[in-house]
Chain A
Amino acid sequence: MILLWLIVVLVGGGLLAWLAARIHPLLCRWISLAAVLVDLALALFEASRHLSSGNAGMNTWFEQVDWSWIPQFGIHFHLALDGLSLLLVLLTLVLGVVSVVISWSAHIKALGFYHLNLLWILAGILGVFLSLDLFLFYFSWELMLIPMYFLIAIWGGERRTYAAVKFFLFTQLSGLLMLIAILALYFAHYHATGVYTFQYTALLGTPLSPHTAMWIMLGFFIAFAVKLPMFPFHTWLPDACAEASTATNVILAGLLATTAGYGMIRFLFPLFPGAFRAFAPVAMTLAVITILYGAILAFSQTNLMRLLAYASISHLGFVLLGIFSGSGIALQGAVMTLIAHGISTSALFIVAGSIEDRTHTREIGVMGGLWDTVPRLSGAGLFFALASLGLPGLGDFVGEFLILLGTYRAHTAMTVVAACGVLAATFYALRFVQRAFQGPNLRPWRLPDLALREGLTLGAMMVVLLWLGLYPQPVFHTFAQAANHLPALWR
């Protein structure tokens, strides 16, 4: 039941916050914060209950909710939690708290509707992580679209309509391909067994001809690849990031990509092992291209948000590489990267947003010498830039290192090229730090430094990254408990 409450609290909290905004803006913010915090507490409670209890390593679902929803189609309202979804649910809620907190002082028009969208997109993301019925999964997947569309289209920058529509069209079209794939799988399962079901566990062993399996898998893959985003479907992300507000960017780059990675891990390989292996070389090539392409483009950006977006694309290429390498080590790295990237990229977007709030510009060329006037903000920027480029001791390093390590055994050449991406990351990350924070303060900027609230948020994210980097064992341990021996499928 707690799984249901996780979603209900966010949906209900969103509605309450929307109504409360008419009474007092502060009430609306507090209700939103309370809703996310309650959810986080619930998730932590779940984590402590299941990780400490005796069923560790049982590779079953920690908890399930399964109701018949539309019986005529065999559609169930089926939520379930295992190690993998637990990790990502925690990440979602942590970033959810962060996004509510960083919207705190900003002057936001239509405040109630903003928080409604913010909480509902979090609910949709949780739905994606928890759904075990493919119909429900698609339902949640589509549900993420509308709040995000509104977040970009209403609270974005100058070209927000263009960016929002582009985001919507990319994800909607690819989502429809996934719908075809889901339906095809559903009917293929019916032809094989005579049972209509969307249940993940039932569909797992569906016998498919290699050809059919490949087509159906591609339907899923394209939807995930667009959301990740992977080259050549990536173009919506820089546009969206360049227009969206800071909290939106946290969700956009930190969480939507995670849903895509989750989908690949949960669905692609377990459902279509043969097609997955056959397709792996293509996907890995695309992953390597994504890594390098993102890195090169990040290097040449002058807009800070676009730089971070391309950097994010480059990092997500590693996730794709790790998942398709077929190696268990690389898979662990991919999960680790999803989490660490979620935190570090979000933090970078917050730093960038803070700079923009103060300087009213997103152009890196105009900045410079910020260290003199905002040392704490600049220090945070340096920290997260180092995390992003893969400094040992921080979470991103662990993830990318494991991906490269695991992939090396599968495909040496790809690993070598992908490793160049790590090198390139050094260039664009350090270039950002140098251009923005160091050098002479020519303008000269005189700006207020980080407030306590911002400082605490970023500080907490630093602690998490350090923890992930120095003691990643709990993450691996939790992931190892994914249901149906998911991690074991990647040898």
Chain B
Amino acid sequence: MIAIEQGAQQVAQGYAVHQIYQIYRILPEVVLTITGVLIMLIEPLLPSRASRKPLGGLAIVGTLAALIASLWQMSLPAGTAYHGEVRTDAFSVFFHVLILGIVLVTLLTAVDVFLPETENTAEFYALVVFGAVGMCLMTSAVELLLVFISLEISSISTYILAGFRRHTGKSTEAALKYFLLGSFATAFFLFGIALLFGSTGTTTFAGIAAGLPGTATPAFAVIAVAMILVGLGFKVSAAPFHVWTPDVYEGAPSPVVGLMSTAPKAAAFAVLLRIAFEVCPSLHVRWMPLIWLLAAISMTVGNLGALRQQNVKRMLAYSSIAHAGYLLVAFTALSREGIAAAIFYTAAYAVTNVGIFAVVSHYGGYEEKLLSIADYRGMARHFPVLGGALAFFLLSLIGIPFTAGFFGKFYVFSASLSAGVLWLSILGLVNSGIASFYYLRLVTAVYSQPASEAPAVRRPGWALQLALLLTVTATLVLGIFPGRTLAMARAGAATYAPSSAITGSLKAAGGVSGAPLPVTPLHAAGQ
């Protein structure tokens, strides 16, 4: 590889010492890795009867440290390290903070859900932390092989986590299904990388972006992008690559579903954004219709599928497919504003969904008993805080004012409308209207008369209370005062250089919104 040759040259020039210095560019990942290794090392030393909760605490502390490290990275000037393999900038920091926040809530939920007798909880914490390493690295990698490796780190730990309750058939089934289909999708992704390398001779983002317009084999490049789209489409559960989602979400433990419906998705969307707008903006004529189609199908399939579900986790699985569709709508804007909208929406959806799964995890308990919508009848009566939080998160998924979901939808559809993507926006908004039906079913159940006496659900402990506090606050803040997060999302979008190969497709964004591409402007679109 060219990168390796360059590396060899740099070593020869005495850059080796400097490279150790560059560790600050991957500091959060390093902190997380150390945390994970520590957990693995300490676990065998503990007496077998001892509670593993302190290890959960260690994981939480490690995640917090990584969070602080990523926030510290924000103060650094943007830049690459390790021969252009990783880059920290506003974009990567935004996703780091988001992913680490999600991991934090997941760990808190897990600490709350696990019973004293639950086996292998230490492995659980370690796997979550290792998964977080992969997801974080995905968002700062700017070289395709590193993207692939970090994708695998994150996927493999999620495969194992999905089968965590290995004594139940469903959980094992979920893990197996996720693993088989996931490896298949990863193979597509890898094949795409190979083809891109074949047509440009490099695997760095900048190199490919520079090489693509003049490639001798444009057909390969197009096929490569399509394959990468398949691979990432699977990871973000966009239809038609969504088939695994309901089964895996139903079978996997709820805290894990909370994690894998948000964090790996956010990371995959980050990669997709980078590949679409940084690696192959010159091919946007080719991938734009594909994304358009993915968005339209995902929204429709997700929402129609969710309408008839009786199992809450399956319903939320379909809902996550639909939300992937809304997010893809922002891609079609082909503007910096669209990128910022996609980044913001990822955050808005993630904080809401991880909150929902915190409630679902606690309500179902480790045994995952209460999962049908009927089981949620009268929840608000028996558990006002849990019920209220669940209803609030569901309203956020509908997109009601005062919630993150409202502003996320507003931003996505305003970006796509400003770019003149009229029909997809209308389809999206109609879809989100339909979606309110199934979310309301659950809200109605939560607030209806209880059918029987209170189910045996423990009182929420400190961990869950903290998790709910974090997610509810985040959802409220993103809904009422989105200014700060918006500015961060904007800063992330601004890392997409308006120069070089992107000039052809992305105009420099001036003022509030990215100027739309020469797509039909709004006035003409209605005619």
Contact = CB atoms under 8 A, between A and B. Distances in A.
Given A149-B440, A154-B448, A180 B526 contact: no
Nearest to A169: B437
B417 A187 contact: yes
A58 to B, nearest CB: 33
B521 A143 contact: no
B395 interface: yes
Given A70-B483, A71-B483, A145-B400, A180 B437 contact: no
Contact of B406 (A142, A149, A212): A142
Interface in A129-145: 139-140, 142-143, 145
B358 to A, nearest CB: 22
A169 B429 contact: no
A94 interface: no
A211 B527 CA distance: 7
Given A72-B490, A169-B433, A186 B401 contact: no
B522 A72 contact: no
A150 B487 CA distance: 35
A301 interface: no
B401 A142 contact: yes
A255 to B, nearest CB: 18
B513 A190 contact: yes
B195 to A, nearest CB: 38
Nearest to B428: A176
B447 A188 contact: no
Nearest to B487: A72
B336 to A, nearest CB: 12
B403 to A, nearest CB: 10
A183 B417 contact: yes
Nearest to B489: A72
A70 B522 contact: no
Nearest to A146: B400
B20 interface: no
B376 interface: no
B158 interface: no
Given A169-B436, A184-B522, A176 B430 contact: yes
Interface stretch (A25-33, A160-168, A418-426, A483-491): A160-168
A73 interface: yes
B483 A176 contact: no
A172 interface: yes
Contacts of B437: 165, 169
Main SS of chain B's interface residues? helix
B290 interface: no
A108 interface: no
Nearest to A208: B523
A184 B483 contact: no
A188 B522 contact: yes
A176 B523 CA distance: 20
Contacts of B413: 179-180, 183
A78 to B, nearest CB: 16
A165 B307 CA distance: 13
A72 B486 contact: yes
B309 to A, nearest CB: 16
A172 B436 contact: yes
Interface string A72-103: 11100000000000000000000000000000
Contact of A176 (B402, B414, B432, B448): B432
B523 A188 contact: yes
Contacts of A161: 444, 448
Categorize the interface residue count of chain B. Answer: 35 or more
A471 to B, nearest CB: 40
A150 B523 contact: no
B429 A176 contact: yes
A177 interface: yes
B426 interface: yes
Given A143-B402, A177-B429, A70 B511 contact: no
Interface string A301-339: 000000000000000000000000000000000000000
A113 B512 CA distance: 40
A104 interface: no
Nearest to A150: B447
Contact of B483 (A72, A142, A165): A72
A196 interface: yes
B429 to A, nearest CB: 4
Contacts of A149: 440
Contacts of B303: none
Contacts of B432: 176
B72 interface: no
B486 A168 contact: no
A17 to B, nearest CB: 15
A190 B419 CA distance: 12
Interface in B376-408: 381, 395, 398, 400-402, 406
Contacts of B512: 72-74, 196
A161 B395 CA distance: 17
A241 interface: no
B352 interface: no
A67 to B, nearest CB: 12
A412 to B, nearest CB: 34
Contact of B425 (A72, A74, A110, A180): A180
B482 interface: yes
A22 to B, nearest CB: 10
A177 B481 CA distance: 24
Contacts of B511: 194, 196
Contacts of B444: 153, 161, 164-165
Contact of B400 (A142, A196, A215): A142
A191 interface: yes
A416 interface: no
B418 interface: yes
B483 A215 contact: no
Given A72-B487, A186-B414, A187-B418, A176 B482 contact: no
A173 interface: yes
Contacts of A164: 440, 444
A139 B395 CA distance: 14
A165 B440 contact: yes
A142 B403 CA distance: 12
A72 B418 CA distance: 15
Interface string A169-202: 1001100110110011011101100101000000
Contacts of A71: 483
B15 interface: no
A42 to B, nearest CB: 23
B184 interface: no
A209 B522 CA distance: 11
Contacts of A139: 401, 406
B410 interface: yes
Nearest to A186: B414
Interface in B468-526: 481-483, 486-487, 490, 511-513, 521-523, 526
Contacts of A187: 414, 417-418, 522
B526 A212 contact: yes
A196 B512 CA distance: 7
A179 B429 contact: yes
Contacts of B486: 70, 72
28 contacts: A70-B483, A72-B486, A74-B512, A139-B401, A139-B406, A142-B400, A142-B401, A142-B406, A143-B401, A153-B444, A153-B447, A164-B440, A168-B440, A169-B433, A169-B437, A172-B436, A173-B433, A177-B429, A180-B413, A180-B426, A183-B413, A184-B522, A187-B414, A190-B418, A196-B512, A211-B526, A212-B522, A212-B526
Closest 9 pairs between A and B when the two form their complex, measured CB to CB? A173-B433, A176-B429, A196-B512, A139-B401, A215-B526, A183-B417, A142-B401, A187-B418, A183-B414
Interface of A: 70-74, 110, 139-140, 142-143, 145-146, 149-150, 153-154, 161, 164-165, 168-169, 172-173, 176-177, 179-180, 183-184, 186-188, 190-191, 194, 196, 208-209, 211-212, 215
